[in-house]
Amino acid sequence: MTWDDFVLAFFSWQIVSEAWPILWDGLQRTILMSIMVVPLGFIGGTILALLSTVHNPWIRWPAAVWTDVFRALPPLVLLIFLYAGVPFTGLEISAWGAVAIGFFLNTGSYYGEILRAGIESVPRGQQEAARSTGLTRWQTMQYIVLPQAFRNVLPDLISNTLEVVKLTSIASVVALPELLFQARQAQSVTYNATPIVAAAVIYFILLWPMVRVLSRLENKALASRR
């Protein structure tokens, strides 16, 4: 294989321009999906984290087990279970529906674990001080604990969000036409690897800034722990 053949097979402008409409279509869907699943997971996570602070063990323990179970289950398994398994009961779930539920369960558990650690990182004295000024339990959570908790685990939250956006690529397995799926389509039509390379480049351009920011934040967090 000559260099020219190589360029033609992996970095062909011709192919990129032909496949661009379908790639763009997929990219939009990837972005839309991210905008949908990140808040969904975040809401799920906040609920789980709050449940983990409840004193009643009948609430706290199921929340903990739930979190660990969905952290132990690979997200792709969950997604395929919802998409390919559940319809056997007669209950049809669309690819979007499966993604929404699957990410809510999986991502929610990850956000939940991070936020729980954040809440625990706020010294007890903060809560006691707030309660002693007459704030209710919920007000203390809302104004004192949660803001500090968010700040303490901000790098982890961003890191998880990055992972969630990357994870949307598994939706291609259940035929949701997002970026990777469309790239695969284009690749099989053109018999050329360029569309997949293009998808990789798009992901990289999209997510690199986030990786850089994270790297900075993580190093800072580390320096302060010395």
Residues at the interface with other proteins (CB under 8 A): 1, 6, 9-10, 68-69, 71-78, 80-81, 84-86, 88-90, 162-163, 166-170, 172-173, 180, 183-184, 187, 191-193, 196-197, 199-200, 203-204, 206-208, 210-212, 214-215, 218-219, 222-223, 225-226
Query: Would you say 131 or 177 has its CB closer to other proteins?
Result: 177
Terminal CA-CA length for the chain: 53
**Dihedral sign, Cα of residue 62, residue 68, residue 73, residue 75:** positive
Toward other proteins, which CB reaches closer, 53 or 135? 53
Q: Dihedral of the CA atoms 95, 100, 101, 104 (nearest 10)?
A: 150
Q: Minimal distance in Å, beta carbon 87 to other proteins?
A: 8
Distance of closest approach, residue 210 Cβ to other proteins, in angstroms: 8
Which of 44/155 has CB closer to other proteins?
Answer: 155
Whole-number Cα distances in Å, 43 to 39, 55, 93, 107: 6, 21, 22, 10
State the Cα angle at 165 between 189 and 182, rounded to 5°. 10
Cβ 101 to other proteins shortest distance, Å: 14
CB nearer other proteins, residue 42 or residue 70: 70
Residue-wise over 123-133: b if at least 16 C-beta within 10 A, else e? eeeebeebeee
Minimum separation from the CB atom of position 80 to other proteins (A) = 7
Cβ atoms of 172 and 180 closer than 8 Å = yes
**Least distance from C-beta 96 to other proteins, angstroms?**
18
For residues 57 and 90, which CB has a smaller minimum distance to other proteins in the complex? 90
